[in-house]
């Protein structure tokens, strides 16, 4: 529960109220794995309380994104996932054809970030990125 506690304490330090609903949503988000959808959070929260509706979850998650505690990533095909900042920087390679997603190493991301800084003098804040293309299988099927 360290990430959950850290997020809650950060919000309090910034002067935000942490309601029981927000706390349940943060717990579901931090315990839900690396990439969580709003629907995943909703299902988890519903096991504890039916008083939290999906609109509250959307608002809370977007609030956490705005506060910089959570990243929002579009994996294509209407699949939006959320990850806590504590997961660390990473890249998703998403196939446009079959929609398969593979997580690339953070070393690749550091290399890309360094190259952009050297070439353009631009310091990136890349934490969670999706790159779209064709996987090896789909390249063979559709040359």
Which CATH number is 134's domain given? 3.30.1490.190
Residues 52, 27, single domain; the answer is yes
Residues 80, 98, single domain; the answer is no
68 pLDDT band, cuts 50/70/90, is confident
Residues 27, 10, single domain; the answer is yes
Residues 98, 63, single domain; the answer is no
Strand partners, 128: 90
Residues 113, 80, single domain; the answer is no
What mean pLDDT is predicted for residues 112-136? 83
- Parent domain of 72: 2-86
Residues 79, 102, single domain; the answer is no
- So what's the pLDDT on residue 1? 46
What mean pLDDT is predicted for residues 29-33? 81
Q: How far apart, in whole angstroms, are the C-alpha atoms of residue 42 and residue 78?
A: 17
Q: State pTM to two decimals.
A: 0.68
Q: Is residue 2 scored above 60 in pLDDT?
A: no
The mean pLDDT value of the chain amounts to: 85
Residue with tokens 């504590």: 86
Total domains in the chain come to 2
Answer whether 51's CB lies under 8 Å from 42's CB. Answer: no
DSSP string, 58-112: HHHHHHHHHTTSEEEEE-STT-EEEEEGGG--EEEEEETTT--EEEEPHHHHHHH
Answer whether 12's CB lies under 8 Å from 18's CB. Answer: yes
């Amino acid at each position: 529960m360290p990430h959950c506690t850290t997020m809650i304490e950060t919000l309090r330090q910034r002067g935000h109220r942490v309601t029981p609903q927000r706390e349940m949503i943060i717990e579901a988000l931090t315990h839900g794995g690396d990439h969580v959808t709003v629907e995943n959070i909703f299902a988890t929260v519903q096991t504890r309380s039916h008083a939290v509706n999906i609109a509250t979850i959307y608002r809370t998650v977007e609030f956490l994104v705005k506060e910089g505690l959570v990243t929002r990533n579009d994996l294509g095909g209407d699949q939006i996932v959320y990850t806590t900042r504590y997961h660390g920087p990473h890249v998703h390679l998403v196939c446009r054809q079959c929609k398969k997603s593979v997580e690339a190493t953070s070393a690749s991301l550091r290399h890309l970030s360094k190259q952009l800084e050297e070439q353009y003098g631009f310091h990136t804040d890349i934490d969670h990125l999706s790159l779209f293309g064709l996987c090896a299988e789909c390249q063979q099927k559709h040359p």
